[in-house]
Homo-oligomer: A and B are copies of this chain.
């Protein structure tokens, strides 16, 4: 089984090597936990470490902000876009009328996959993606079509998912059952401290480490510590 490495420190070790190729993987977590950083790092590492092009499909933000957020970690996404290694396919939900040109990237996902020969996809976020459609049935059909499209194209995909509850417990939705894998990013509170934690919940085809590990947003991106224990969990 061919494995796709995320290149994010500590993550591949937790995954038992990486993500099986053509998997669709949920990256689920509360607001502010670092899901979008995690997802962009996966794309950027694909280009710079593994020579795989990648597409960041966003319904949340505009390209210039996404580029700016990446710059803060020293990732020169703009260069990779010029070199046709990365494409940002953007259709922010608050620009749904499409009139304001800067909101839309003017390229479909399919066109972008073909143009840059993409091997990695991020959908940020599947939660807002579903908001684009009126009823449950059309949401499900469009989600299934998206999954089919990226699998047919041979891509390995992360779908960012917002978690509705602020607690550690999570109610699983359609997107969790449809995915081949799931990673959970969550806040663990101890007294006044909020600590980022990481857990691989599921990954078909590899032997994962299911334990909870501390995670940080460093100056160079997301870091998971696969041999450490979250401080907030030591006396719980």
Q: Chain A interface (Cβ within 8 Å of chain B)?
A: 1, 20, 30-33, 36, 61, 65, 68-69, 72, 93-96, 100, 125, 127-128, 131, 134, 137, 140, 144-145, 147-148, 151-152, 162-172, 174, 176-178, 180, 182, 187, 189, 191-194, 196, 199-208, 210-213, 217, 229-230, 233-234, 236
Contact = CB atoms under 8 A, between A and B. Distances in A.
A211 B192 contact: yes
Given A187-B210, A192-B211, A192-B229, 8 more contacts: A30-B201, A32-B201, A32-B208, A94-B178, A95-B148, A162-B172, A162-B177, A191-B236
Given A128-B178, A162-B172, A170-B166, A191 B229 contact: yes
6 contacts: A31-B172, A32-B201, A94-B144, A131-B177, A191-B229, A192-B229
Find the residue from A68, A177, A193 having the highest chain B CB count within 10 A: A177
Contacts of A1: 68, 72
Contacts of A201: 30-32
Nearest to A141: B96
A-B pairs, 3 with minimum CB distance = A32-B202, A194-B210, A192-B212
Contacts of A134: 137
Contact of A205 (B65, B202, B233): B65
Given A31-B176, A140-B131, A194-B212, A68 B234 contact: no
